[in-house]
């Protein structure tokens, strides 16, 4: 039987965050303009507060686990498989990855191409079929966004290096 449940882990991680934050706060320079508290005063207080809250959370979750322990068989019956649990999170990471890829590529490809690629990638990723319609929506959407942001609102979105190299910029 394990008493380390989810809230205990959260408490431990938050405790670590509080400790790292305190250490970083301790490095803040002292200024002659600092008042009685200084620039590191509030950050250190916040680190203590987070540490204290983490301890309460850990304590509460341990007490809760002791009061209502689950047997191994109950646990096995309750919990979905690891693959089922992880699938949506991995998909969320993939979505972030598409966003990061857009940010890496937009300076090279230029806004109009990159945003159309983003529309296509996200549509396919969330479940659209790889059809001419999807491609058309992505290209049309890219042009629409370009007209709205660059032409209508006058936002200087990245023109891209590749279009310039090809003499299109």
> Which residues, 76 to 135, sit near another protein by CB under 8 A?
87-89, 91-92, 94-96, 98-100, 102-103, 106-107, 111, 115, 118-128, 134
From the list 2, 60, 75, 130, which residue makes contact with another protein (rule: CB under 8 A)?
60
Nearest approach, Cβ of residue 126 and another protein (Å): 4
CA 84-89-92 angle, to 5 degrees, is 135
Distance CA 157, CA 169 (A): 12
Q: Which DSSP string do the residues of 8-58 spell out, in sequence order? A: HHHHHHHHHHHHHHHHHHHTSPP-TT--SS-TTHHHHHHHHHHHHHHHHHH
Count interface residues toward another protein (CB under 8 A).
71
Q: Applying CB under 8 A, does 20 fall inside the site for another protein? A: no
Q: Toward another protein, which CB reaches closer, 122 or 162?
A: 122
Question: Is 16 or 148 the residue whose CB approaches another protein more closely?
Answer: 148
Contact 55, 15 (CB under 8 A): yes
């Amino acid at each position: 039987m394990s008493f380390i449940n989810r809230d205990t882990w959260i408490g431990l991680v938050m405790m670590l965050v509080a400790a790292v934050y305190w250490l970083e706060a301790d490095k803040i320079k002292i200024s002659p303009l600092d008042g009685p508290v200084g620039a590191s005063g509030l950050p250190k207080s916040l680190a203590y507060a987070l540490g204290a809250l983490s301890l309460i959370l850990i304590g509460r979750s341990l007490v809760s686990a002791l009061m209502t322990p689950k047997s191994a068989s109950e646990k096995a019956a309750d919990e979905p498989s690891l693959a089922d649990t992880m699938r949506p999170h991995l998909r969320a990471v993939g979505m972030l990855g598409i966003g990061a890829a857009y940010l890496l590529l937009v300076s090279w490809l230029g806004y109009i191409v990159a945003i159309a690629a983003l529309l296509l990638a996200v549509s396919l990723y969330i479940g659209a079929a790889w059809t001419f319609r999807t491609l058309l929506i992505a290209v049309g959407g890219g042009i629409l966004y370009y007209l709205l942001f660059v032409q209508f609102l006058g936002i200087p979105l990245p023109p891209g290096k590749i279009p310039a190299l090809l003499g299109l910029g």
